[in-house]
Amino acid sequence: MITALIITFISVLFLTPFVKKLAMHIGAIDRPNIRKVNTINVPRMGGLAIIISFFIGLVIAQPQSEHLIPLIIAASIIILTGILDDIYDITAKAKLAGQLSAAMIIIIFGDMQIDFVNLPFGGQVSFGYLSIPLTLLWIVGITNAINLVDGLDGLAAGISAIALITLSVMAAIMGNTFVIVFASLLAVSCLGFLFYNFYPAKIFMGDTGSLFLGFMISILALDGFKNVTMISLIIPIIILAIPIFDTIFAIVRRVRLQQSITAPDKSHLHHTLMDIGFSHLQAVLLIYAGAATLGMAAIVFSQATIWGAFLIGALLLLFIELLVELLGLAGKNYRPIISLVRGKR
């Protein structure tokens, strides 16, 4: 396994410059516009280097699982969707179609879905016919959450690496070798890519990378935590809290402003941090710190008693809500808790 990780890391360092030249040759360029932070043309599709390096490591590690073939087929659809978007800027509907197709392959042929959860105080909730739409929502939601957070140099790669390292640790605790191998190889690929993608970025991962990473993270979390206790089901949500809640409040914000939920804007977490005075690099490092803190919280959460887990979960939700209100992530006038506290003074 160590050999696979080392070769994966070296591969991404070696391949990224070649992918950069390929992106420039075929026109996969991220051009500046009003909603983007970059002020010059930057080649995208760098995720291809992450993907190829990951698969090189996978061939060396040779993990065994009944999910392997369906996962590779589904991932190939996601990769193709990302490449087409990086080159041709395909529509949101076309991207969603690719994601749904890949998710259905995982559900039908990979037999991976959220069928039930065991309640903390006994009993079980079976989702029945809802298991498929719930699983689809999870896969597509996480895939797009990582895609949407890819707004600053090194942000998506860094957050993905932190989430994948946390998933590796959790998988080690649970004894899930398949998730350990996949998550570790992907984390190393992301860390290697950061040599070229960290501020100031020489290449972006593009949708080729962000869609692939989001999809793989959603599947690994699903494989590691499906059909377990309700408390355990919260663990991947804590690990991925930043992209998940950034996406949720983006939807809330757009609904409140009577905009399409797919409409782009500059009110994501990384935008708001820069708006209040943090530099590009400082905003990225702050979000890294937040993601790492949440990753450690998830590990502590997994080892806590039921009541301890409830307390940690409640405090995390309160902290996230206050952060959302202070930064205006759901809209400048969305401040229910702050208004409630001020009203009692």
Domain ranges for the chain: 2-344
Which pLDDT score is estimated for 124? 67
Which pLDDT score is estimated for 45? 92
Pairing of strands 42-43, 29-30: antiparallel
| 207 marked among binding-site residues | yes
3-state secondary structure the chain: CHHHHHHHHHHHHHHHHHHHHHHHHHCCEECCCCCCCCCCCEECCCHHHHHHHHHHHHHHHCCCCCCHHHHHHHHHHHHHHHHHHHHHCCCHHHHHHHHHHHHHHHHHCCCCCCCEEECCCCCEEECHHHHHHHHHHHHHHHHHHHHHCCCCCCHHHHHHHHHHHHHHHHHHHHCCHHHHHHHHHHHHHHHHHHHHHCCCCCCCCHHHHHHHHHHHHHHHHHHHHCCCEHHHHHHHHHHCHHHHHHHHHHHHHHHHCCCCCCCCCCCCHHHHHHHCCCCHHHHHHHHHHHHHHHHHHHHHHHHCCHHHHHHHHHHHHHHHHHHHHHHCCCCCCCCHHHHHHHHHC
Which pLDDT score is estimated for 261? 66
The contacts of residue 215 (CB under 8 Å, 6+ apart) are: 74, 75, 78, 99, 102, 139, 142, 143
pLDDT along the chain (345 residues), means of 10: 92 95 89 64 91 94 83 95 92 92 90 70 71 89 86 88 90 86 95 93 92 92 65 73 79 72 67 78 87 85 74 81 73 71 62
Q: What global pTM score does this model have?
A: 0.85
Rounded to whole angstroms, how far apart are CA atoms 159 and 29? 23
Rounded to whole angstroms, how far apart are CA atoms 221 and 164? 9
Query: Which residue's structure tokens are 């995390």?
Result: 316
